[in-house]
Amino acid sequence: MSDTSSREISGLVPRAALSVGQRDEMFALLDRHFSGVTRAQFADDLAAKNWVIELRRAGRLMGFSTLLATTSVFEGRSITALYSGDTIVSPEAWNSPALFRAWIAGVKRIRSTLPAQPCHWLLLTSGFRTYRLLPLFWREFTPRFDTRPSPIQQRLLVHLANEHYGARFEAAAGLVRFPHPQRLRAPLATVPTGRIRDPHIAHFLHLNPGHAEGDELVCLTEIDDANLTAAGRRMAGVPSPE
């Protein structure tokens, strides 16, 4: 017999299909790792999204990410815009690639139901671990330490952030500050000394000095197979280019 005690299952769930029990699990997981979380705030964030990506191990919720997929018009052109909401992975599942694989597969599934058009992901992050996923899986994104955004990238980032977050977005700083921020609990909020040597993490800390207080750095990348790194292609099951 195969051992199913540690089997991981991940998948895309329509927000409207979530049971009360699933919502309770999501809130409990978020509350264990963030301070400042309220049930009302969690419910509001969830209501503004239309998809949830879950990671489970032996039936237990180990991580999730909420997602809004919508259409925006940027400089006269229709695009698909993805906005991530509440996202958390339990530390014991940090080494698992299952949630990212499910995220990529879920986004592909969502896009298959939408018009064929460019797709851009606007990510808010107050944690260096989430920011570090960008250079791990995506070839081009902004902001990054070694490349300035192109003028069109910067205009798109500002457009999407203003459209979705309004006055909470501070364009000059590139940050979103919520009136009631969620803060990573210790020790998750602490950046290990050795990690600061990573230029990507050092840049994140430079751009978002208030990350421990819940300030969110606004990041942008294009969702396209051609924009995946070699690691991203492996995770997404995309063949390497010839």
Predicted confidence at residue 123, as pLDDT, reads 97
Q: Which residues contact 175 (CB under 8 A, 6 or more apart)?
A: 169, 207, 208, 210, 215, 216, 217, 218
Domains of the chain: total: 1
CATH code of residue 225: 3.40.630.30
Predicted confidence at residue 5, as pLDDT, reads 44
* 133 belongs to a structural domain: yes
Residue type, 10: S
What's the burial of 239, exposed, middle or buried (CB within 10 Å: 0-12/13-18/19+)? exposed
Nearest CA to 235 out of 125, 96, 82, 62 is that of 96
Predicted confidence at residue 63, as pLDDT, reads 92
* pTM reported for the whole predicted model: 0.91
Domain range for residue 72?
8-236
Q: Report how far residue 198's alpha carbon sits from residue 88's, in angstroms, rounded to the nearest whole number.
A: 22
Nearest CA to 227 out of 218, 236, 215 is that of 236
Q: Which residues contact 218 (CB under 8 A, 6 or more apart)?
A: 122, 123, 124, 157, 161, 169, 174, 175, 176
Query: Alpha carbon 225 to chain centroid distance?
Result: 17
* 162 belongs to a structural domain: yes
Structure tokens at 234: 């492996």
∠216-117-83 over CA atoms, to 5°? Answer: 20
Nearest CA to 58 out of 12, 18, 98, 15 is that of 98
SS3 for 110? helix
* 134 belongs to a structural domain: yes
Nearest CA to 143 out of 110, 173, 184, 186 is that of 173
* 222 belongs to a structural domain: yes
* 154 belongs to a structural domain: yes
Predicted confidence at residue 35, as pLDDT, reads 94
* 242 belongs to a structural domain: no
∠164-169-172 over CA atoms, to 5°? Answer: 135
Q: Report how far residue 219's alpha carbon sits from residue 157's, in angstroms, rounded to the nearest whole number.
A: 7
Predicted confidence at residue 242, as pLDDT, reads 61
* 128 belongs to a structural domain: yes
* 118 belongs to a structural domain: yes
Q: What is the DSSP letter of 14?
A: E
Return the biggest CA–CA distance within the chain.
Answer: 58
CB 27 within 8 A of CB 53: no
Taking only the tens of pLDDT, the chain with its 242 residues reads 333 446 788 889 999 999 999 999 999 999 999 999 999 999 999 999 999 999 999 899 999 999 999 999 999 999 999 999 999 999 888 888 888 888 888 898 999 888 899 999 999 999 999 999 999 999 999 999 999 999 999 999 999 999 999 999 999 999 999 999 999 998 888 888 889 999 999 999 999 999 999 999 999 999 999 999 999 999 888 887 76
